[in-house]
Amino acid sequence: MPLGRFGDFNRYSIPDLVMDGTDGRRSLRVALVSTGHTYRLLILNALPLSDQLLHNSIEFLAYEAPGTVDTLACNEQEDQCHAVPFHFAADAFQVVFFEKASSLWYWTGDGFTESSTSD
């Protein structure tokens, strides 16, 4: 069953949509983003369906209103991460793996960028 969230991700005052689903071969995360009088389809994530089925966790999409959330800043040499406040001005969404991890996806003007919010 496809999972989706609406939001005005690119601040055009027209609803956009992000959705998880499958084309029968791949597990996909796609976005329909308004571009004036039409929409542009973006593939944000594509995994072979067999790989997605191997992940033993519950994943869902959560709407995030504009504001501030904590993201993770990591020092790879010391293998340490700490919370850093991140402000975003448009709607965004989080991908949440139950009791494992989450990431914030937000619009940058050209497309979406992902930032870890927990590990």
**Tally of domains in the chain:** 1
- % the chain with pLDDT above 70: 90
- By residue range, what is the domain housing residue 18? 3-118
CA angle 117, 98, 45 (to 5 degrees): 65
Averaged pLDDT, 106-112: 93
Residue 119 has pLDDT above 80, yes or no: no
pLDDT of residue 21: 86
Residue 54 has pLDDT above 60, yes or no: no
Cβ-Cβ contacts under 8 Å for 18 (sequence gap 6 or more): 4, 5, 7, 9, 29, 30, 31, 44, 61, 93, 105
**Beta strand 26-34 pairing with 16-22:** antiparallel
Question: What pLDDT, in 10s, does the model give residues 3-31?
Answer: 789 999 999 999 999 999 888 888 889 99
pLDDT of residue 72: 78
**Beta strand 39-48 pairing with 26-34:** antiparallel
What's the CA gap between 6 and 41, in Å, rounded?
A: 14
Averaged pLDDT, 92-113: 88
